[in-house]
Structure 1
Amino acid sequence: MDWVPIVFVTFKVLVFGTGMFFAIKWHYDKEKEEEKRAVLRTGGKVAAVFVLVLLGLGLVTFVVAGMLGLDLNFP
């Protein structure tokens, strides 16, 4: 009969300790996920602006080349 409280208290400490560990880990990972999401969003915006600038530069190049009378036909 004397071993029952020792086993149950030990079990309770292990369960609550495990629960606290995973609760803290979940909150920590949630903050990291929000930071990762912000970085990915910013990277996507930078990539989109880069593609738009590249397309604009290509368009300007063809317009200027056409105004200068360069042959832009494929062989």
Structure 2
Amino acid sequence: MDWVPIAFGTFKAAALLTAMCFAIKWHYDQGQKYGRQAVLRASAKVTGLFVLALLVVGGITLALAEMLGLSLSY
């Protein structure tokens, strides 16, 4: 029974490393195909959307905590 986590953990690590290698290669090939400026522009858009989503979720969380009367002070 002790070999199960080791075997599954090894398989999981191998699968994730293989997938990461293919993902990096695919993104590198996409960058070569579309040009550096287009990739940087798309990266900036995705980063901006992520930060905006993070702020919205944080604001909703704070508003909900205040509405429920949770103490948010240290």
Q: Given the two structures, how large is their TM-score scaled by the length of structure 1? A: 0.52
Structure 1 moving runs of 4+ over 4 Å: none
Q: Please give the root-mean-square deviation of Cα atoms over the aligned residues, in Å.
A: 1.4
Larger radius of gyration: 1
Cα-to-partner distance string for 1:4-50 (whole Å, 9 max, x where unaligned): xxxxxxxxxxxxxxxxxxxxxxxxxxxx6x71100000000000000
Indicate the residue corresponding to 2:54 in structure 1. 54
In structure 2, the gaps of 5 or more residues are 1-31
How many pairs were matched up? 42
TM-aligned CA deviation for residue 73 of structure 1 = 1.3
Q: Given the two structures, how large is their TM-score scaled by the length of structure 2? A: 0.53
Indicate the residue corresponding to 1:72 in structure 2. 72
Q: Distance in 2 between matches of 1:55 and 1:63?
A: 12
Q: How does 1:11-26 map to 2 (within 5 A)?
A: none
Q: Distance in 1 between matches of 2:58 and 2:72?
A: 13
